[in-house]
Amino acid sequence: MTNGDKTEKIIYGITQGDPNGVGMELILRIFSDEHIFKYGTPVLYGSPKTFSFYKKMLGLEDLRYHLIESAKDAQEGKLNLVVGSSDELQINPGESSEAAGKEALNCLNKALEDSNHIKALVTAPLDKQTVAHHQTGFSGHTGHIANYFGVDNYAMFLVSDELKVALATEHYPVSQVAENLSQSIITNKLEVIYNSLREDLNIIKPRIAVLGLNPHAGDNGLLGKEESEIIKPVIDQAFEKGKLVYGPYSADSFFGSGNYKSFDAVLAMYHDQGLIPFKSMAFYDGVNFTAGLPIIRTSPDHGTAYDLAGKGTAETLSMRNAIHDAIHFVKNRLQFIEDFSNPLPYTEFRRERFRIDF
């Protein structure tokens, strides 16, 4: 994107998250470094009161925001602020409260309403339990954002340089995982992460590993039949269509042996099966990415961290990476569209032109 000789920076949104968690202080500490502005133009959806509270607490008196009505008015080189909540709130770092949940939800919804004017959305952590008091059926950022865009087929995708893990099922109790697995669900998740690897992460011919559900991947039916009846048929169908999809693998040996290093992404069957190895390797620098949305959405891979809130010591790396990845994925997606929008037709002339005789 250019404007004359000047490169137009990508406009991206950031939600403040739970005002009693670490979200706002991470944001302020990151944007106190002016170098962050060279990567894109940020729009913060938050409360001026929360901003001022943490600015004072952190001693960042020189940090200012530029108040705007919408992201369409964002200015480069500034931390633009759209008021996402004007509720009067007593800020108590480290304390869970329904009022804090309401503010977090208001800021998130304001960002979604403004989504036509931003290319990516970075969400700071919120407390699902407190937000659920104000939004029926709320189970987290991922489902809420997907519902807003009317997207049924999406994937929770945890990414780092070392490991990329998507989930077939997300926030189900372990006792309900098997009954919520089906060939169609796994097929859809594979399709989403395959396309996302190509379009958003610039991996044109990705290799994807699929984990089994049961110990030892069912041990040939001795410990469960989900592998043979649900998972393996989907893998075979994908491979027949030219996708490099392999498995099902026994999760313990797959990660313990380092086999994951041979793949671009892993599809885990349930939450802890994927997140335990991911957070063991990338707790401080991993990023939560929602694949399959019309907008790029990332988040740090940690929660509100109430035990660290208000201390100014929480690690900023995951949030920094969430910002950088969001901008990078937007650029990849734009490049993919440009590269594949007008492929050259395969004509008789071209066949003759590039024919090699032996």
DSSP string, 266-278: EEESSHHHHHHHH
Cα angle: 336, vertex 342, 345; to 5 degrees: 130
Which residue among 254, 286, 318 closes a domain? Answer: 286
Average the pLDDT over 117-131 and give the result.
96
pLDDT at 349: 40
Q: Cα(349)–Cα(304) distance, rounded to whole angstroms?
A: 60
Average the pLDDT over 37-64 and give the result.
95
Burial (CB < 10 A; 0-12, 13-18, 19+), residue 67, is exposed
Average the pLDDT over 175-185 and give the result.
93
Give yes or no: residues 333 and 235 share one domain.
Answer: no
pLDDT at 343: 61
pLDDT at 222: 85
SS3 11: strand
Give yes or no: residues 93 and 222 share one domain.
Answer: no
Q: How far apart, in Å, are the Cα atoms of 224 and each of 57, 243, 251, 256? A: 54, 26, 15, 22
Residue 167: DSSP 8-state: E
For the chain, count helices (H), then strands (E). 12, 14
Give yes or no: residues 1 and 146 share one domain.
Answer: yes
Nearest to 148 by CA among 126, 170, 121, 168: 121
Q: Cα(162)–Cα(164) distance, rounded to whole angstroms?
A: 7
Q: How far apart, in Å, are the Cα atoms of 107 and each of 159, 166, 188, 321? A: 25, 27, 31, 21
pLDDT higher than 70, residue 344: no
Nearest to 209 by CA among 221, 197, 199: 197
Q: Which amino acid is at 63?
A: L
Give yes or no: residues 281 and 315 share one domain.
Answer: no
Residue 160: DSSP 8-state: -
Give yes or no: residues 147 and 161 share one domain.
Answer: no
Strands 6-7, 2-3: parallel, antiparallel or unpaired by DSSP?
Answer: antiparallel
Which residue among 241, 263, 286 closes a domain? Answer: 286
Average the pLDDT over 118-130 and give the result.
97
Overall number of domains in the chain = 2
pLDDT higher than 70, residue 271: yes
Strands 265-268, 164-167: parallel, antiparallel or unpaired by DSSP?
Answer: parallel
Give yes or no: residues 165 and 209 share one domain.
Answer: yes
Confidence of residue 338 (pLDDT cuts 50, 70, 90): confident
pLDDT at 356: 35
**Is the pLDDT higher at 6 or at 84?**
84
Average the pLDDT over 173-193 and give the result.
94
pLDDT at 340: 84
Q: Cα(226)–Cα(270) distance, rounded to whole angstroms?
A: 13
Confidence of residue 345 (pLDDT cuts 50, 70, 90): low
Which residue among 229, 256, 286 closes a domain? Answer: 286
pLDDT at 347: 47
In terms of residue numbers, what domain contains 308?
A: 1-151+293-358
Question: pTM value?
Answer: 0.89
Give yes or no: residues 158 and 231 share one domain.
Answer: yes
Cβ(322)–Cβ(141) under 8 Å?
no
Average the pLDDT over 188-195 and give the result.
97
pLDDT higher than 80, residue 355: no
pLDDT at 172: 85
Average the pLDDT over 302-316 and give the result.
94
pLDDT higher than 90, residue 304: yes
Give yes or no: residues 76 and 215 share one domain.
Answer: no
SS3 200: coil
Q: Which long-range contacts (CB under 8 A, 24 or more apart) does 183-189 make?
A: 183/230, 183/233, 183/234, 186/210, 186/230, 186/231, 186/234, 186/267, 187/234, 187/237, 187/238, 188/153, 189/155, 189/267
Give yes or no: residues 177 and 269 share one domain.
Answer: yes
Give yes or no: residues 98 and 158 share one domain.
Answer: no
Token pair of 337 as six digits: 């569209």
Q: Which CATH number belongs to the domain containing residue 100 in this structure?
A: 3.40.718.10
Give yes or no: residues 189 and 280 share one domain.
Answer: yes
DSSP H/E element including 189: helix 183-199
pLDDT higher than 50, residue 1: no
Give yes or no: residues 349 and 312 share one domain.
Answer: yes
Cβ(245)–Cβ(210) under 8 Å?
yes
Average the pLDDT over 144-167 and give the result.
95
pLDDT at 351: 39
Token pair of 284 as six digits: 């401080």
Average the pLDDT over 217-236 and give the result.
91
